[in-house]
Chain A
């Protein structure tokens, strides 16, 4: 005969298990970050941040990689942002749900799942072979812009659609035009979600390897931090500098997350 466990006991067991699992996940995350910082922080000093790499990256710092990472990311996001957000507004506010918008949404969603290497190859053939831009920040930025475009469209559109219908009705009922309604009633409420999508895209651009290696290239002084790290590890050139690079990458991403959230709270979402 099977004895039933008392619900209270079952609850204790289940809750205990979930706590354990959750704490384990947090533990793994902390372990990864702490390990990289532990190995990487001692390498970081002023000259590591300000000197260009030498001897395949064995010597010198990663200043050029930091600059390239920041400029490729900035370029990509600045290009993709207006197009992505504009498209999202168009889809959400100016069209009715029909087969064409559904196809657009669906393909944007599917393109967001395509491996980045395919974007890299597209960028290589289109920007380097056809347009002759060469391995450059420009080619990489444009490629990344196309890569993050679906993400920005999707997250922005979701944020816009999530804005309560009543805000629009109120704005219209108070005599607002469509543009005024979008700018003054919809945008301020959607801005949080839109910026979240952009932060996500910034993170993706900073972390991207496969697409960038084909378009920005892997020249020692012309590569992003993620590529620099990958090359140092995979070619077994210098583990020390690899850890240093990884630590700076993590700090940068942490910084982007924290600062962006702070800025939003401080400037955009105030009065809410």
Chain B
């Protein structure tokens, strides 16, 4: 008797589990995967989009730019998110830029250094410069923090700053913007790079300081007017010209409403004229 009850309960449990996992119908579901840098913004966009089109469910996974692109190629996801430009192998895919994101070099607020040149940054990341005193700071070793191989943020940084040189293997590697930010906010001698939108002070987090590059402060206005040139595109990638709900969602993002959401979150719109106007 006891056994029978147990078995019935087990069967019921399996059924519920299977139902929750297979509940959604195809077609009303958009599966997105890719860059962890883009993921939070995509989540916010999807929330507003789902409020407008309630029958559609948007599922957003992280994983990384390359993982997202490869998921699209293998038909696992409808849209891939990338925080870097596509490389040659991937150039056959359909893609659209949904926003631009600045890249900021960050240090601890107590660090007296405020400005670096691109060459100096490259020097730090190739270990030609290893002490803050060489840059006008205190006499202490620099703790270099980088992102992992395959990250869109890292490859964007490599493309824009490193000029073909290799990032030193001695660099500490973290696998998210948040982790880099957290580490720098606690270490007076660290330097790292993260999305511009995450530099500003946030609730419950310790502050970090964004470095000026060649004298230009890392703020959105300077990215928009072109004087601060460390930025990368946020791309949505698909393996075919989007249609149906996928197209609808992308249209929503590119609409004024969608772009405004991204601007509010600290990104740079793909149509800057509109923003100024």
Direct A–B contact in the complex, CB atoms closer than 8 angstroms: yes
**Residue B150 lies at the interface, judged by CB distance under 8 Å to chain A:** no
Q: Are A233 and B178 in contact (CB under 8 A)?
A: yes
* Cα separation A222 to B44 with both chains bound (whole Å): 15
Q: Are A56 and B40 in contact (CB under 8 A)?
A: yes
In chain A, positions 179-232 with a C-beta closer than 8 Å to chain B are 213-214, 217-220, 222, 231
Query: Which of A8-16, A89-97, A131-139, A155-163 lies at the interface with chain B?
Result: A131-139
DSSP class of A's interface residues: helix, strand, loop or mixed? helix
Known contacts A129-B74, A134-B76, A237-B40; is-contact A219 B179 (Cβ 8 Å): no
The chain A residue with its CB closest to the CB of B180 is A236
Q: Are B178 and A237 in contact (CB under 8 A)?
A: yes
Residues of A within 8 A of B202 (CB): 236
Q: Are A78 and B13 in contact (CB under 8 A)?
A: yes
With contacts defined as CB atoms under 8 Å apart, how many contacts are there between chain A and chain B in the complex? 90
Known contacts A71-B17, A135-B59; is-contact A234 B204 (Cβ 8 Å): no
Chain B interface size, under 10 / 10 to 19 / 20 to 34 / 35 or more: 35 or more
Q: Are A214 and B63 in contact (CB under 8 A)?
A: yes
Q: Are A236 and B179 in contact (CB under 8 A)?
A: yes
DSSP class of B's interface residues: helix, strand, loop or mixed? helix
**Residue B177 lies at the interface, judged by CB distance under 8 Å to chain A:** yes
**Residue A54 lies at the interface, judged by CB distance under 8 Å to chain B:** yes
**Residue B109 lies at the interface, judged by CB distance under 8 Å to chain A:** no
* Cα separation A239 to B206 with both chains bound (whole Å): 11
Q: Are B47 and A234 in contact (CB under 8 A)?
A: no
Known contacts A138-B22, A218-B39; is-contact A234 B17 (Cβ 8 Å): no
**Residue A149 lies at the interface, judged by CB distance under 8 Å to chain B:** no
Q: Are B76 and A74 in contact (CB under 8 A)?
A: no
* Cα separation A214 to B31 with both chains bound (whole Å): 14
Residues of B with Cβ closer than 8 Å to A? 2, 10, 13-14, 16-18, 20-22, 31, 33, 36, 39-40, 43-44, 47, 59-63, 74-76, 175-179, 181-182, 198, 202-205
Ordered by A's residue number, 10 sampled pairs between the chains whose C-beta atoms are within 8 Å are: A55-B43, A55-B44, A56-B40, A71-B16, A78-B14, A128-B74, A134-B76, A218-B39, A231-B62, A239-B205
